[in-house]
Structures are given as structure tokens and as C-alpha cells.
Structure 1
Amino acid sequence: MAYLRYTQNAKISGLKTKSFPVLFNSESQVNLLCLNYFLDLVQYSSISSLKTYAKHLLDFYSQFELETEYESIDMIDDEYLAAYKQSLLSRIDYENTENYVSQIMRSVLKYLKWLEDNNYVKNLIGDSAKYRIRIRLVKNGIRHHLIKKESKNKNISIAPRSEWIDVIKKYGPSCRRVRFRFELMIDWCKSAGLRTFEVCALSIDQLPTRATVIKAIENKKNVYMTLNVTKGGKSKEIPINPLLIKKTWDYIELSRHELVENLIKRANQKYEKYKDDRLIFLSEKTGRAILSTSFSNSIRQAYTSAVEAGDLTKDERVWAHGLRHNFVTNLLIGLDRNNIPRVESVARQSTRHGSIDAMEPYLTSRFNDTFE
């Protein structure tokens, strides 16, 4: 994935500057487009503003590098950006509001407009029908429906019950192998509290061995593993129920192994070579990482199907980030029952939230006696 570094001491336009952002791609090559963009912006923007824009574009490029259908930035369109925004909304914590996501989209659109204005791309973004991304040029900048601030429906913060989540599993993909993957990815969100993009980035090499897991099950203890892809970009060691790891190894050795064999055969028929990147959850179509947007959409489709079938009501809503919401609420209930001191602080550390305030939407559901 793309990553960001800051200079210790750079000389730009004759002036010494510290902490100038430099974006690299997954192959450790400098993103020259972003570099030129930042060099242009530094003439009239502060370093702190540049660092903010850099973080926004880091997320944008990190997501783009996971795509397989788009060879370059100039191939994206309004539909791609809409899916990207939905991805942001599905994986962020509640301290990041709709307004914050709109800020990211604004940074991305301004960057793409700069690319167009400086002839790095053609017919990508503009104010007429010939452009794939349609914007309106106004006095203070640009307008686009994806950067419009929207009021957030407060009902979505109600944590979905475990039985609701179990229902949507029945409405997952029909293919046996894909259904196994779908249910297991849900379990990683619900039982381990991972965000959707963190689940999609899980690697086989991160998992404790099966022998370690079996021993932990016998001793009735959790096992620990390190998350390499996280919201803050820093690795984090977290406790995991060994039964979830065992189920994951079962999936890897059966369903995933079967998929990889099919992908190798498919590649051989095209006189190509398939390289297994050892991610746990692979796309059946591409053999690469599953996009968090695709995972979120599959949960949404399962929920919609369950409502149409009458197994859930519209108010019994299950959505991607709601799985993590369920995990946090159950964690708080467990801590309360065991009379753990400073419950919110302990839960904040376990759930990797930046502050107690960030957990506010989770703090009341635990007092509902019917929550499971």
C-alpha cells in the first residue's frame, strides 16, 4: 500500500522547510504527481495544510492500489468516487463525521482538477459532459455532490443485535466457498472488532499457527496477533478468540486452497502466472484483495434481502461498521458485569479508539437489557 514520509530538512524555493510530505507507492517509488502538486501548493499553503492534504491523498492512493480494473488515475469516474466515499463511510469510526469524509473528497477532487489543469490527465474532471467526473466551477472553488455536507441519520448508531447479524448470514452469496468467506469476514468484524478494510488486508502470515491455536483452546485463553493495516497506520497487537483463528485456518486450508488452485489453472490457460499474495480473503474473480466497498455492499445486499423476505424489519438494520459497533457494545457489557474499573478507558484501548469521546455512540446501548 502507499505510504507517507516527511522530510527532516528540505529546501524549497530557497526556503528551508521541515516536515514536507512525500508520498510513496507500494513499490517504494515517489509519487511524482503528488510531489509536484505539493510543491505547487507550498507556495500559498502552510505545511500543516499540506500534511492534511497528504493524508487525504494517501488514503485515496492506498485504496486505488487495491483496484484491479483501473490501470491509472485518469480512468476513474464519478461512479468510482461514489464507491470510494461509501468505503470511507463504512470503515471510519464515529469521531470521523460525514463532514470529515467530505473534506477528504474535496481534497481528492481538487487534486484531480490540478492534474487536469496541468495536462497530466485529459477529459477526467471538468464542468461539461465530456468529462468523466462532472463538477461545477464556482467563485470559491468547485462543487460536486460527493462533497456536499449531509445530515446523518442518528438511527444508524443503534448497534445491531447479534441475532440480526446471524440472519443476514443466511442471505449471503449462494456459492458455498464465497458464503464461507462472507460469514468468516463478518465474524472478524463482529467477534474481533476489526474494521472492514482491516479484515480485507489480513494476511496468512499474521495468524498464529494452528498448533498455538489448539493449545490456546485447551487452556481457554486468547491468542495475540499483530494488525499491520490499521486506521492510524500503526501496527497493533490485539487479542483474538482462538476459535475464530481455528475457523480461519479451516477456511484457508479448504476453501481458499481450492480457490487458489482454480486461479492457477485459469492463469495457465491464458499462459500467465498467478502469484498468491497470501492475503486470507481473495476475490473469486481477480484473485487479489477484496475491496472493503465490495464487502460492505455484500452486507448491505444481504440485509436488504432479509428485509424483503420478512426476516428483518427496516429498523433491525445491519451494516458494515455496525458489526464493529456490536463488538464494542458487547465488550462494554462484559466489562460492566465483571466490575472492571475505568470501563471506558479499558474499552478504548481494546477497540483502538483515539479518545473516550470517540466512543460516545457506543456507551448507551450496553444498558439495554435485551442487547445480545
Structure 2
Amino acid sequence: MRMFWEHLSNEGRDWKDVDDDFLRDFRNLQRSGVRISHKQKGEELFEGTINGRLMTILAFYWWCHKNGKVREDMIGPSRWEEEGHFRPQIVLDVKGYDPRSDSPYKDLKYSSPLLYKNIRAPKRTIPTEDQTSKMQAKLSSFRDQIMSQWTEQTGLRAFEICKIKVEDVPSFDDIDALEDADNHHKFLLKGKGRKERFIYVQSDLLTSTREYIE
């Protein structure tokens, strides 16, 4: 939303006068690599990334529509009426909205002609063990090295690693017992989307982490 607001300012456009044409230009500029804000790198963006940004903008306008912040006819699905075809400024079809729910805006499904269809997943190269070792050797601090090891072994994101508490890491005696039994340490962590899942950690990583804590 910050990027979009900056783009509105650069174009001299009022946020209530936005329509599909303006959003389409906003989308295409990112696809072609044109910088739309001072923090954008000026490179072509993946269609899925652009869709995510558009979804955030559309969700914002839908919320404004439902809460009386914009004209009632500004956003919504195209429809045929007795007088003819009605097309709002922003064409959007939303399913799953229930005003009686405690979370009426959760898990909504948005359909817009602006969103890219049949998006191909980007090819991601998995680093080899040698590449990972070289990267860790370049890290200057012991803390960064341990965080890299946590990411490699558990797949946790940086903010999830920072949620690990001291009591989640066993003592040296308990770690030795795990190593003797050739077992993993298991603890519950609340990650992205407040979803809880069990994390399994090997003894060598636990030892390094306990050494850092001490």
C-alpha cells in the first residue's frame, strides 16, 4: 500500500478517483520493470508478486466500500440492469463475505480482470551443501551463523527464529542425552499466520544455540 500511495502522489491522482485503467497501468509498469516508488529496484517483477500487491489494493478498496468510505458504486461486479450494463470504476467480484461473521474479511476470494491468470511458479535453485557452507563462512557473527543453520535445518523464517525462547532449547545434559539416543528435540512454535507446528532440531544445532545463549 505504501508503494501504491507513493504512485498516486507521483501521478497526482486522488485515491477515490482510481479505476481499472489506472490500476492496469500500475500493474504494467511493475511488469516492465519501471520504478513506481523509491524503494523498488527497477527490475521486472514476477506476476505472482504483482498479483499479491493488486490483491492488497483491491481488498483495501473493498473494505472502504463496505464501510462507507467511498461511493457505493465505486467497486463491485459488472452487472446488467434494466437500463443496461453497469460497470463500476473498479470491477471486482468477492465471494465469502459474511457480515454476521466475527471475521467477515477473512479468507475472501477475489476475482478481477486485472489479476494475472495461470501464473507459472518461478524456478528456484536450491543451494548445494558446499554453497551453504561457503555462505555461512562469510557470515561475520556467531549469531548470524546460527540463524543460517536454523533456516537450513528447519526451514524457519528469520522472524520465526527470533520467536524461539530460551526454554525451547534444552540444557547441555539434555542435548547429550538426545545425541546418545540419536534423537531429535521437538517443540511447538507459532509461525506465519499464527499457525502452530512442531519443529524438530538435531543435537549439533542445539549445542551451537545453547553455546550462544550461554
Could you tell me the TM-score, scaled by structure 2's length?
Answer: 0.47
Higher relative contact order (CA 8 A, sep 6+): 1
Could you tell me the TM-score, scaled by structure 1's length?
Answer: 0.29
